[in-house]
Amino acid sequence: MISVSIAGGWGRAASADRAASAIPWDALRQADRRAAARWRIAGVADRRATVVPWARVPALDVLQAGRWGVAGMLDAQAIAQPWNRVPAKDLAVASGWDHTMQPRDLRLRLIYNPKPARKDLAIAAGHRRVNEYGPRFNAETALQDSLYVPGTGALVFEFGGRPYFPSTSPEVFFDFRYVPATPAIQPTDMRRTRVRWQSARRLNLGRTLPWGRARQVDGVLTDLPYVDYPGPVKPLPEPPPDPTILDTYMIANTVNLVALPSRTPIAAKNIRIGLDADSFSWSFSADIFTRAALELVQPDAEGAGELELDINGWTWVVLVERYSRKQQFPAEAYTITGATRGQLLAAPYAPLRSGLNAAQINAAQAAEAELLNTGFTLAWQATDWTFPAGALSYQSQTAMQVIAKLAETIGGVVLPARDSDHLDIVPRYPLPPWQWNDVDAPITRVIPPAMMTDLGGEWTPQPAWNACYTSGTSVGCSMLVRRAGTAGDNPTPDVFDDWLTDQPANQARGTHELSKGGNIEIVSVTIPLFPFADDHGVGLILPAHLYRVPEESGPWVGLCLGVDISAEGTGAVRVSQQIRLERHH
């Protein structure tokens, strides 16, 4: 039989109860053992004594004890605090473990885009989906569907046949402002380009040329496939048009020489103008007849006189630097000489300067810096390289001297413009001579033998160099440039230059030195100067350009070293240009 009246409530005793009882914890346990029977199955004798069937509780027991699990108010107050209430002394250190969160609070976990906390408002934006498949939004046509689009002027209304003019402080006014809704972001490449995820080579097959098999340049080919080249692709130059071959060429030469800025015509004869690859300005000379014409072009307080020369549509602007008189009874003649405006960057016009780069700079930037506040422009079309800080230094040099020295460092030349303040920096050899017959050689013009009036040649052979050692001096690098496919056993004299400070410069200079070797012939050719607008002729020949000559024995390519244009005879009616071509056999 189990006694219920001696069992205590489940909880923590208060401090006052512990002090009043003063009963040790183990002693209380022993007292409970004496008062209660052990937990076991009751014997038969116990069942006869109680005469109470098993699982039936007498009515007296029901009235004297509470049911299991529900404590009375008196017992709860006498023995312990409620189960889910924490005493006041514990509130400052910890919170109770309870179920204060209500079911309605669980909805916050189901929101896809909850409002971020205040600390995140300044650093992050909400995550929303873009308008991927909606109609394309066009800001220019967004208001075309509206019935009325107000302009920038005042609005005029008709009320009762009279125009409406709002007062300065009306009680009622109209506001037609329209604020369009901000459209959602739309992907621009989803529906128009439709680019598939695949190799880019397939997309460019229709716009590029096949590479073909590689040309053997050094060693034995390994037959390895070429990888895709991710860099820029230089397109093949278009072949020059073939000039029209005729039995007779009739050219109405026009030669005009005027003084600037008045544009007064000047009668002249024996006009010559020319340019070679080592010059930075066109040279000019002419014979004039009168003293009055000389006074128009001779130097004065404002500087050297300027002339404009027009030969068959090709125009030059020259400075008259010198003149001389030749008197012979009964007439006198004056000879004037000069150069184009590129001479203004050299002595005696340009001042001498010294410079040292304080920061890293490349050659093109250094050349452009020399032209500041001069009105000249420059196009660097040669190899560019870098100067470390303190490597680019010079003393008492003009602007043209510095630019020409930069071009000479990599084997380049300065090509001046004919009638403007512009300079082009180009390599003397656009390609090495052993590559002039390649398909991608940049041929400028075709000079047919049928147009040649004079032809001559001079044999100037040089050693067949195949290697060149280039190096800087105090700053820079050293490099052995060897012609591909050769042993490099016949080197040129070593090249040392203060401004060879980077590998591209060393390689360009070494290639230039190797290009000067071999069996060379200087071919002199005289051809007419066709008009500027004539597309069927050869045109003006310029230095540092490649030209093809289709002779009967076989076509060959030559590099122009210089050109001289002459207009002779009465009224300068006989015009021709004599060119010098460097041919490598």
Asked, for residue 357, whether it belongs to a domain, the answer is: no
Asked if the structure places residue 182 within a domain, the reply is no
**156-214 pLDDT, tens per residue?**
666 666 666 666 666 666 665 667 677 788 876 655 555 566 655 554 444 555 555 55
- The tally of domains found in the chain comes to 2
- Among the three residues 90, 108, 128, which one is the final residue of a domain in this structure? 90
**Helix (H) / strand (E) containing 59:** helix 59-64
Residue 175's pLDDT is what? 63
Residue 403's φ and ψ, nearest 5 degrees, are -65, -45
Q: Which of 90, 114, 134 is the last residue of a domain?
A: 90
* Rama region for 89: left / alpha / beta (φ>0; ψ in -120 to 50; rest): alpha
If phi > 0 it is left, if psi is from -120 to 50 it is alpha, else beta; for residue 200 that is: alpha
CB 558 within 8 A of CB 549: yes
Q: Is residue 276 part of a domain?
A: no
48 lies in some domain: yes
pLDDT score of 116: 55
Spatial distance between the Cα atoms of 444 and 539, rounded to a whole number of angstroms: 11
- Classified as helix, coil or strand, 260 is strand
In-domain check, residue 162: no
**Residue 105: inside a domain:** no
> What is the structure's pLDDT at 309?
94
Two tokens at 347? 């002595």
Residue at 531 is within a domain: yes
Single out the residue in 35, 66, 90 at which a domain terminates.
90
Q: What pLDDT was estimated at residue 463?
A: 93
pLDDT score recorded for residue 411: 94
**Would 362 be classed as within a structural domain?**
no
Residues in the chain, pLDDT under 70:
1-128, 139-140, 142-178, 180, 188-237, 329-330, 535, 570-572
Neighbours of 125 (CB within 10 A): 8
pLDDT for 219 equals 46
Asked if residues 338 and 309 have their Cβ atoms less than 8 Å apart, the reply is no
pTM over 0.75: no
CA gap 568, 270 in Å, rounded: 5
What is the number of residues in the chain? Answer: 585
Q: Where do the DSSP E strands lie in 68-179?
A: 158-159, 162-163
Q: What is the pLDDT of residues 438-487, one digit of tens each?
A: 877 889 999 999 889 899 999 999 999 999 999 998 888 899 999 988 88
Residue 291's pLDDT is what?
A: 87
- pLDDT computed for residue 181 by the predictor: 73
User: How far, in Å, CA of 366 to CA of 362, rounded?
Assistant: 6
Provide the β-strand partners of residue 287. Answer: 269, 335
Structural domain boundaries, residue 56: 15-90
